[in-house]
Amino acid sequence: MTLASTVNAKAIELGKHVITMTTKAGSGHPSSGLSLAHIVIMLMEKRMRYDPKNPSNPASDRLVLSEGHAVPIVYAVYADVGGVAGKDPSQLKKVTLDDLNDLRELDSVLDGHPNPAEGFPFFDAATGSLGQGLSVAAGLALAARLRGTDRRIFTIIGDGESREGQIWEAADFIVDRKLTNVCAIFNCNGQGQADVVSHQQSAEVLTAKLKAFGWKVRAIDGHDVKAIGSALNLVGKGGQPVAIVAKTVKGWGTASLQGKGNHGKPLKESEVPGALADLDAMYDKLGVPRGSSGGLRIHKPKGEVPPLPSGEIRLPSFDEAMAEAGLADAVAKNKLATRRAFGAALLALGKADERVVSLDGDVSNSTFAEYFAKKLPDRFFECKIAEQNMISAAAGLAAAGYIPFASSFAKFLSRGYDQIEMANITRANIKIVGSHAGVSLAADGPSQMGLVDVTYFRSFGTADDGRGRPACVSFQPADAVAAYHLTGLMANVTGMCYMRTHRPDVALLYDKNASFEVGGSSVLRQGDALTIVSSGYMISVVLKATEALAGEGIQCTVVDAYSLPMNAQPVLAAGAKTGGKILTVEDNYGGGLGGAVAEAAAITGKCTVQIMTCKRIPKSGNSPEDVLSLVGLTAGDIAARVKDILK
């Protein structure tokens, strides 16, 4: 039997499962799956080197299905090869053809879109929000290079999907980094959801674009087994990454799923027999003998990859790390920005453990990831001005066991919020650090200020990740000591973390050996009049306010609530000691820290909470104080509000 016959026969047989499983589920994208039948079979049953019984082997080739909605064909092929899956990684079992009928059920590992966290370890990343897979592949390839393995990373991208700008960020990044083990396969079936795909995403224009971006391009018929095979053979062999631009037929083999209006629509029960008959007719049309779908052999990965370290990463002392980063003078002067202390901590972590890697978007001299970049260049990845790619590449690195810190301005990270949510669904162990947050940035104006970040990341933290942990943990250090230890904490907490740092230098508030914990807070000042809860840069402003108030005989408690979600009990206990009066202060829009305190307090109503946030869209101003005055957050504003509450 020829390879072509076998693959065609499999395309027919597994294509039938794509149809029946989506009809059974009552939703899904059979037409997309059918367009990829030959390509996926050639990958998963012929060219990819992996062990279906141990897909997570770090030497294995990987597939990132960027076009996530086409996943039924992958599920069908995975069942065909006896691939294993399961919620409990220690108890994986074979996915059977019968299991396919549970597609999209609540207790199935076969989610509507690729979702490794729900028990499908063949994938490294949740996909389905389009345009992200090539960046994940890039991250996996960076990790493979660090680990010294020649695993190849295949990505399948829809033609319509290739309109997403992130694809082109990834295309640049992969060329920049010479990640020639990445292969991008473009599925040009010409049909989008609402309409046909633009000429700009046609096979011809895609080919021209990819060449201009520096890729080796092979344009093929995506149902031609031989052409697929020889194009895939190019991967990893030349000095360029390989792109395969494959013309395909959406709804291949079945008239009822072809043409416009057939995106994301399963067939009705009544239509299924006709569609299956259409596919059966393909045996004769293609001259393929029935029953020829057996007999492919999957090549196992070659070689062993030494394990990465495990366990807790220990930081040196604060002073030691600051000295190493050249910050001893700043410490001595008692003026040190939280962003610099983050940089020093990142360097210390990187020196302590090879799992720690750093990604930054052309602002490492502002975020101070540059301390790491200069000393550990092999594990620093300059992502240039392309934050979407940076986040998804970090997710790829995390999937391969690394602990990536992705840093940029807090504002610019919002460019990657969709990618961050996808990484959150993946339960990617990534650490996101946003600098220049809040209005203290001042002169650069609102286009550079992180103003919704606290609220955005806190929101994820209200949900559980399905493993008993908050889906995201956020930190906001008030001084360099806190920034240092919280960076260390981030590295050691499993799951997504966000830290917010600030531009201005601030005084050191904490003992250098102070300890910090997830959900923690610290009482910085005790009083009896009112409790002020704040964090980050605003702590220094709050302390100015409380000093002034103390001069008038008003003693306030100040709580630094540096972690969200917070353990509210000590915060409310502090409030209870000040007559139940709490004021929260933060230099961002609402729904963040104040929201968290109010939500906790409102459960019983025993404490009252007044909230001060940035009351107006900011603009440029010469100094933090100028802009704080515009948005109602100066020390004077805070003191006035305290007095108003105490009236």
**Residue 110 and residue 120 in contact, taking contact as beta carbons nearer than 8 Å:** yes
**Residue 39 and residue 222 in contact, taking contact as beta carbons nearer than 8 Å:** yes
Site for a second copy in 369-388 (CB under 8 A): 370, 382, 384-386, 388
CB of 337 to a second copy, least distance (A): 15
Place of tokens 């149809």: 19
Q: What number of residues does the chain have?
A: 647
Residue whose C-alpha is closest to residue 600's, from 544, 559, 645 = 559
Question: What span, in angstroms and rounded, lies between the C-alpha atoms of 301 and 51?
Answer: 7
The angle at the Cα of 145, spanning 144 to 151, to the nearest 5 degrees, equals 45
428-462 burial: b if 16+ Cβ within 10 Å, else e: bbbbbbbbbbbbbbbeeebebbbbbbbbbbbbbbe
What tokens were used for 144?
């493979």
Backbone angles phi, psi at 208, to 5 degrees: -65, -40
573 binds a second copy (CB under 8 A): no
CB of 365 to a second copy, least distance (A): 5
Site for a second copy in 465-494 (CB under 8 A): 465-466, 471
445 binds a second copy (CB under 8 A): yes
**Using CB under 8 A, which of 456, 510, 537, 562 touches a second copy?**
456
What is the DSSP code (8-state) at residue 578? T
Letters for 407-436 (x = contact with a second copy by CB under 8 A, - = none) are: ----xx-xx-xx--xx-xx-x---------
Query: Of 392 and 522, which has the nearer Cβ to a second copy?
Result: 392
Strands 473-475 and 563-564, bridge-based pairing: antiparallel
Strands 336-337 and 505-506, bridge-based pairing: antiparallel
601 binds a second copy (CB under 8 A): yes
**Using CB under 8 A, which of 281, 555, 599, 646 touches a second copy?**
599
Query: Of 182 and 482, which has the nearer Cβ to a second copy?
Result: 182
CB of 604 to a second copy, least distance (A): 6
Query: Of 91 and 604, which has the nearer Cβ to a second copy?
Result: 604
CB of 133 to a second copy, least distance (A): 12
Instruction: Identify the bridge partners of residue 157 per DSSP, sorted by sequence position.
Output: 186
What tokens were used for 192?
């989008």
Place of tokens 């396969």: 185
**Using CB under 8 A, which of 59, 231, 249, 451 touches a second copy?**
451
Site for a second copy in 45-74 (CB under 8 A): 68
Query: Of 389 and 578, which has the nearer Cβ to a second copy?
Result: 389
**Residue 92 and residue 161 in contact, taking contact as beta carbons nearer than 8 Å:** no
Name the one range near a second copy by CB under 8 A: 52-60, 318-326, 450-458, 520-528.
450-458
Letters for 615-634 (x = contact with a second copy by CB under 8 A, - = none) are: xxx-xxxx---xx-xxx---
101 binds a second copy (CB under 8 A): no
Query: Max CA-CA distance within the chain?
Result: 94
Residue whose C-alpha is closest to residue 593's, from 491, 521, 505, 495 = 521
**Using CB under 8 A, which of 34, 595, 634, 637 touches a second copy?**
595
Question: What span, in angstroms and rounded, lies between the C-alpha atoms of 108 and 101?
Answer: 10
567 binds a second copy (CB under 8 A): no
**Using CB under 8 A, which of 377, 463, 513, 547 touches a second copy?**
463
Site for a second copy in 21-40 (CB under 8 A): 25-28
CB of 583 to a second copy, least distance (A): 11
What tokens were used for 37?
């039948």
528 binds a second copy (CB under 8 A): no
DSSP, collapsed to helix, strand or coil, labels residue 152 as: coil
What is the DSSP code (8-state) at residue 68? G
Q: Which residues are catalytic?
A: 387
112 binds a second copy (CB under 8 A): yes
580 binds a second copy (CB under 8 A): yes
Query: Of 301 and 592, which has the nearer Cβ to a second copy?
Result: 592
**Using CB under 8 A, which of 21, 37, 59, 130 touches a second copy?**
130
Name the one range near a second copy by CB under 8 A: 56-64, 93-101, 124-132, 298-306.
124-132
Site for a second copy in 168-207 (CB under 8 A): 168-169, 172, 175-176, 192-195, 197-201, 205
464 binds a second copy (CB under 8 A): yes
Question: What span, in angstroms and rounded, lies between the C-alpha atoms of 365 and 355?
Answer: 22
**Using CB under 8 A, which of 212, 239, 378, 511 touches a second copy?**
212
What is the DSSP code (8-state) at residue 564? E
String of DSSP letters for 272-339: HHHHHHHHHHHHHHHT--TT------PBPPPS--PPPP-SPPPP--HHHHHHHTT-HHHHHTT-EEHH
Letters for 250-289 (x = contact with a second copy by CB under 8 A, - = none) are: ----------------------------------------
**Using CB under 8 A, which of 73, 246, 398, 607 touches a second copy?**
607
Query: Of 64 and 597, which has the nearer Cβ to a second copy?
Result: 597
CB of 357 to a second copy, least distance (A): 17
Name residues whose C-beta falls within 8 Å of residue 74's C-beta, 6 or more positions apart in sequence. 40, 44, 63, 65, 114, 122
CB of 55 to a second copy, least distance (A): 20
504 binds a second copy (CB under 8 A): no
CB of 471 to a second copy, least distance (A): 5
Name the one range near a second copy by CB under 8 A: 53-61, 235-243, 547-555, 611-619.
611-619
**Using CB under 8 A, which of 66, 115, 407, 531 touches a second copy?**
115
DSSP, collapsed to helix, strand or coil, labels residue 526 as: coil
Site for a second copy in 308-367 (CB under 8 A): 360, 362-366
Query: Of 339 and 458, which has the nearer Cβ to a second copy?
Result: 458
Question: What span, in angstroms and rounded, lies between the C-alpha atoms of 430 and 407?
Answer: 11
Phi-psi region of 148 (alpha: psi -120 to 50; beta: other; left: phi over 0): left
Question: What span, in angstroms and rounded, lies between the C-alpha atoms of 115 and 132?
Answer: 14
Name the one range near a second copy by CB under 8 A: 163-171, 305-313, 322-330, 334-342.
163-171
Cα distances (Å, whole numbers) of residue 11 to 15, 49, 305, 482, 548:
5, 20, 34, 57, 76
Site for a second copy in 131-150 (CB under 8 A): 131
DSSP, collapsed to helix, strand or coil, labels residue 97 as: coil
